[in-house]
């Protein structure tokens, strides 16, 4: 969460914790999956994926990349792309991946990864409502 403070404008609590991720909500979902990312046996990040209602079409069910984090030490060497691709392969179906408007690095990463994975066959739209604020990539496998 520390890396994300420039985008989320969150503050730590008096105990020094970031209250951003609502684990009770995430783990209360019917179809959810949490993954630790390891490189050479070392913890390098995590990903949280769940199935839910699509932003693009509320009648459609999609996989949503709820959280995706790779520690700086492991970035820019293909780890993130390999993990994202493995998750797309594992769950298949239809996906939506969103980024907050100020996180241009994440936007560039996901456009590159999804563009390569789908050979450019994806749609991007921007939401600005109570459900989500920012760009969302939508694609079917």
Cα 130 versus chain centre, distance: 18
- Tokens of residue 26, six digits: 């995430």
Each residue's pLDDT, cut to its tens digit, for the chain (141 residues) gives 545 455 555 666 666 555 556 667 766 777 889 999 999 999 999 999 999 999 999 999 999 999 999 998 999 899 999 999 999 999 999 999 999 999 999 999 999 999 999 999 999 999 999 989 999 999 999
Domain 22-140: give its CATH code.
3.40.630.30
d(CA 113, CA 120): 10
Helices (H) and strands (E) in the chain, counts: 4, 6
Residue-wise DSSP of 43-81: EEEEEEEEEEE-SS-TTSEEEEEEEEEE-GGGTTTTHHH
In this prediction, residue 9 carries a pLDDT of 55
Q: Confirm whether pTM is higher than 0.95.
A: no
Contact between residue 46 and residue 67 where contact means Cβ atoms under 8 Å apart: yes
Closest CA to 117 of 40, 47, 91, 103: 91
In this prediction, residue 59 carries a pLDDT of 94
Q: Where are the domains of the chain?
A: 22-140
In this prediction, residue 117 carries a pLDDT of 98
In this prediction, residue 89 carries a pLDDT of 97
In this prediction, residue 25 carries a pLDDT of 73
Contact between residue 74 and residue 44 where contact means Cβ atoms under 8 Å apart: yes
d(CA 135, CA 24): 26
Contact between residue 67 and residue 29 where contact means Cβ atoms under 8 Å apart: no
Helix (H) or strand (E) holding 94: strand 94-98
In this prediction, residue 32 carries a pLDDT of 87
């Amino acid at each position: 969460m520390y890396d994300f403070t420039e985008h989320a404008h969150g503050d730590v609590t008096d105990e020094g914790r970031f209250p951003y991720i609502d684990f009770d909500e995430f783990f209360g979902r019917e179809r959810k999956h949490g993954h630790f990312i390891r490189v050479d046996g070392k913890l390098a990040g995590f990903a949280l994926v769940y199935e839910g209602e699509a932003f693009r079409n509320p009648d459609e069910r999609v996989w949503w990349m709820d959280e995706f984090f790779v520690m700086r030490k492991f970035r820019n060497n293909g780890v993130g792309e390999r993990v994202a691709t493995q998750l797309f392969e594992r769950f298949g179906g239809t996906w939506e991946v969103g980024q907050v408007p100020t996180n241009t690095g994440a936007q560039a990463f996901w456009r590159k990864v999804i563009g390569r994975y789908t050979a450019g066959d994806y749609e991007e739209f921007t939401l600005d409502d109570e459900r989500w604020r920012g760009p969302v990539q939508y694609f079917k496998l």
